[in-house]
Protein backbone atom coordinates (compact mmCIF):
# COMPACT_ATOMS: atom_id res chain seq x y z
CA UNK A 1 0.00 0.00 0.00
CA UNK A 2 2.76 2.43 1.00
CA UNK A 3 4.74 1.55 -2.12
CA UNK A 4 1.69 2.19 -4.29
CA UNK A 5 1.10 5.55 -2.61
CA UNK A 6 4.74 6.56 -3.15
CA UNK A 7 4.47 5.66 -6.84
CA UNK A 8 1.21 7.55 -7.16
CA UNK A 9 2.70 10.64 -5.48
CA UNK A 10 5.80 10.49 -7.66
CA UNK A 11 3.74 10.07 -10.84
CA UNK A 12 1.56 12.97 -9.74
CA UNK A 13 4.63 15.15 -9.19
CA UNK A 14 6.02 14.18 -12.58
CA UNK A 15 2.67 14.86 -14.23
CA UNK A 16 2.52 18.27 -12.58
CA UNK A 17 6.04 19.04 -13.74
CA UNK A 18 5.09 18.05 -17.27
CA UNK A 19 1.89 20.07 -17.08
CA UNK A 20 3.87 23.13 -16.04
CA UNK A 21 5.61 23.09 -19.40
CA UNK A 22 2.25 23.23 -21.17
CA UNK A 23 0.75 26.12 -19.22
CA UNK A 24 1.00 29.53 -20.82
CA UNK A 25 0.03 32.85 -19.28
CA UNK A 26 -3.45 33.98 -20.18
CA UNK A 27 -3.46 36.91 -22.58
CA UNK A 28 -4.34 40.16 -20.87
CA UNK A 29 -7.25 41.97 -22.42
CA UNK A 30 -7.53 45.64 -21.88
CA UNK A 31 -11.29 45.42 -21.38
CA UNK A 32 -10.98 42.78 -18.65
CA UNK A 33 -10.73 44.01 -15.06
CA UNK A 34 -7.29 43.70 -13.54
CA UNK A 35 -7.08 41.54 -10.42
CA UNK A 36 -3.85 42.37 -8.60
CA UNK A 37 -4.42 39.70 -5.95
CA UNK A 38 -4.52 36.72 -8.35
CA UNK A 39 -1.11 35.17 -9.03
CA UNK A 40 0.02 35.23 -12.61
CA UNK A 41 0.52 31.87 -14.27
CA UNK A 42 4.07 31.57 -15.53
CA UNK A 43 5.06 29.15 -18.25
CA UNK A 44 7.96 26.91 -17.40
CA UNK A 45 9.90 25.43 -20.25
CA UNK A 46 10.93 21.86 -19.60
CA UNK A 47 13.73 20.90 -21.99
CA UNK A 48 13.31 17.82 -24.17
CA UNK A 49 16.14 15.93 -22.40
CA UNK A 50 14.29 16.20 -19.06
CA UNK A 51 11.05 15.01 -20.64
CA UNK A 52 12.94 12.15 -22.32
CA UNK A 53 14.49 11.25 -18.96
CA UNK A 54 11.04 11.14 -17.33
CA UNK A 55 9.72 8.97 -20.17
CA UNK A 56 12.72 6.65 -19.67
CA UNK A 57 11.89 6.52 -15.95
CA UNK A 58 8.36 5.46 -16.71
CA UNK A 59 9.64 2.58 -18.86
CA UNK A 60 12.24 1.56 -16.25
CA UNK A 61 9.70 1.52 -13.43
CA UNK A 62 7.57 -0.94 -15.39
CA UNK A 63 10.48 -3.41 -15.52
CA UNK A 64 10.75 -6.25 -13.01
CA UNK A 65 13.15 -5.51 -10.15
CA UNK A 66 15.90 -7.82 -11.42
CA UNK A 67 15.93 -6.05 -14.79
CA UNK A 68 16.06 -2.65 -13.07
CA UNK A 69 19.08 -3.92 -11.13
CA UNK A 70 20.74 -4.85 -14.44
CA UNK A 71 20.08 -1.35 -15.80
CA UNK A 72 21.48 0.11 -12.58
CA UNK A 73 24.63 -2.00 -12.97
CA UNK A 74 25.12 -0.76 -16.51
CA UNK A 75 24.62 2.87 -15.48
CA UNK A 76 27.11 2.50 -12.60
CA UNK A 77 29.85 1.44 -15.03
CA UNK A 78 29.56 4.80 -16.77
CA UNK A 79 30.95 7.72 -14.84
CA UNK A 80 29.38 10.87 -16.21
CA UNK A 81 26.66 13.28 -15.15
CA UNK A 82 24.13 11.84 -17.61
CA UNK A 83 24.44 8.33 -16.18
CA UNK A 84 24.37 9.72 -12.63
CA UNK A 85 21.14 11.55 -13.41
CA UNK A 86 19.78 8.36 -14.96
CA UNK A 87 20.78 6.40 -11.82
CA UNK A 88 18.91 8.95 -9.73
CA UNK A 89 15.82 8.70 -11.90
CA UNK A 90 16.02 4.89 -11.80
CA UNK A 91 16.31 5.02 -8.00
CA UNK A 92 12.96 6.85 -7.85
CA UNK A 93 11.24 3.66 -9.06
CA UNK A 94 11.68 2.27 -5.53
CA UNK A 95 12.28 5.34 -3.37
CA UNK A 96 11.73 3.55 -0.07
CA UNK A 97 14.72 1.29 -0.83
CA UNK A 98 16.93 3.84 -2.56
CA UNK A 99 16.51 7.06 -0.58
CA UNK A 100 20.05 7.02 0.81
CA UNK A 101 21.56 6.22 -2.58
CA UNK A 102 19.49 9.01 -4.11
CA UNK A 103 20.74 11.50 -1.51
CA UNK A 104 24.35 10.65 -2.42
CA UNK A 105 23.62 11.08 -6.14
CA UNK A 106 21.80 14.37 -5.49
CA UNK A 107 24.82 15.68 -3.58
CA UNK A 108 27.11 14.74 -6.47
CA UNK A 109 24.81 16.17 -9.13
CA UNK A 110 24.18 19.42 -7.22
CA UNK A 111 27.84 20.33 -7.60
CA UNK A 112 27.61 20.05 -11.39
CA UNK A 113 26.39 22.48 -14.00
CA UNK A 114 22.70 21.79 -14.55
CA UNK A 115 19.87 23.45 -16.41
CA UNK A 116 17.09 25.17 -14.46
CA UNK A 117 14.70 22.30 -15.23
CA UNK A 118 17.25 19.70 -14.08
CA UNK A 119 17.80 21.65 -10.85
CA UNK A 120 14.02 21.81 -10.31
CA UNK A 121 13.74 18.06 -10.86
CA UNK A 122 16.68 17.46 -8.53
CA UNK A 123 15.02 19.64 -5.91
CA UNK A 124 11.74 17.77 -6.26
CA UNK A 125 13.43 14.40 -5.81
CA UNK A 126 15.52 15.74 -2.92
CA UNK A 127 12.46 17.08 -1.10
CA UNK A 128 10.66 13.78 -1.59
CA UNK A 129 13.68 11.80 -0.36
CA UNK A 130 14.10 14.02 2.67
CA UNK A 131 10.44 13.52 3.62
CA UNK A 132 10.71 9.78 3.02
CA UNK A 133 13.86 9.47 5.16
CA UNK A 134 12.21 11.44 7.97
CA UNK A 135 9.15 9.20 7.78
CA UNK A 136 11.33 6.08 7.85
CA UNK A 137 13.19 7.46 10.87
CA UNK A 138 9.92 8.18 12.68
CA UNK A 139 8.70 4.68 11.84
CA UNK A 140 11.89 3.16 13.27
CA UNK A 141 11.47 5.15 16.50
CA UNK A 142 7.83 4.04 16.80
CA UNK A 143 8.79 0.42 16.12
CA UNK A 144 11.41 0.59 18.89
CA UNK A 145 8.84 2.08 21.30
CA UNK A 146 6.32 -0.59 20.35
CA UNK A 147 8.90 -3.34 20.87
CA UNK A 148 9.78 -1.84 24.26
CA UNK A 149 6.07 -1.69 25.21
CA UNK A 150 5.46 -5.28 24.11
CA UNK A 151 8.52 -6.44 26.06
CA UNK A 152 7.25 -4.56 29.13
CA UNK A 153 3.82 -6.16 28.85
CA UNK A 154 5.44 -9.58 28.43
CA UNK A 155 7.50 -8.99 31.58
CA UNK A 156 4.38 -7.98 33.51
CA UNK A 157 2.51 -11.08 32.28
CA UNK A 158 5.45 -13.30 33.25
CA UNK A 159 5.52 -11.73 36.72
CA UNK A 160 1.74 -12.18 37.12
CA UNK A 161 2.02 -15.82 36.03
CA UNK A 162 4.92 -16.32 38.44
CA UNK A 163 2.93 -14.77 41.31
CA UNK A 164 -0.09 -16.94 40.51
CA UNK A 165 2.09 -20.07 40.46
CA UNK A 166 3.58 -19.14 43.85
CA UNK A 167 0.12 -18.49 45.30
CA UNK A 168 -1.14 -21.85 44.04
CA UNK A 169 1.84 -23.62 45.63
CA UNK A 170 1.24 -21.74 48.88
CA UNK A 171 -2.42 -22.84 48.96
CA UNK A 172 -1.53 -26.50 48.56
pLDDT digits (tens, 9 = 90+) for 86-143: 999 999 999 988 988 899 999 999 999 888 888 988 999 999 999 999 999 999 999 9
Supply the pLDDT for residue 21.
44
Q: How far apart are alpha carbons 104 and 84 in whole angstroms?
A: 10
**H/E run at residue 88:** helix 81-91
Please check the confidence at residue 7 and state whether its pLDDT lies above 70. no
Supply the pLDDT for residue 118.
86
Kindly report the length of the chain: 172
Of the candidates 150, 147, 170, which has an alpha carbon nearest to the alpha carbon of residue 158? Answer: 150
> Where are any strands of DSSP class E within 36-165?
none
Supply the pLDDT for residue 106.
93
Query: In the predicted model, what is the mean pLDDT of the chain?
Result: 81
pLDDT bucket at 82, cuts 50 / 70 / 90? confident
- Residues 35-45 have a mean pLDDT of 68
Supply the pLDDT for residue 53.
85
For the entire predicted model, the pTM comes to 0.61
Question: Helix/strand/coil (H, E, C) string of 127-148?
Answer: HHHHHHHHHHHHHHHHHHHHHH
Cβ-defined contacts of 119-124 (< 8 Å, 24+) = 120/17, 120/44, 121/17, 121/50, 121/53, 122/88, 124/13, 124/17
CA distance readout (Å), 44 to 25, 37, 85, 87: 10, 21, 21, 25
Supply the pLDDT for residue 4.
57
pLDDT in tens, 19-30: 444 444 444 444
Amino acid sequence: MKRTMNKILLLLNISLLGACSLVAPAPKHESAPVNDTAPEVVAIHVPAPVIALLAKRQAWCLLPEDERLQVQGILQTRNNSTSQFQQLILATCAPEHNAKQSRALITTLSAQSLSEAERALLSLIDDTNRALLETQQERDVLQAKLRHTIDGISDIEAQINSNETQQLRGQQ
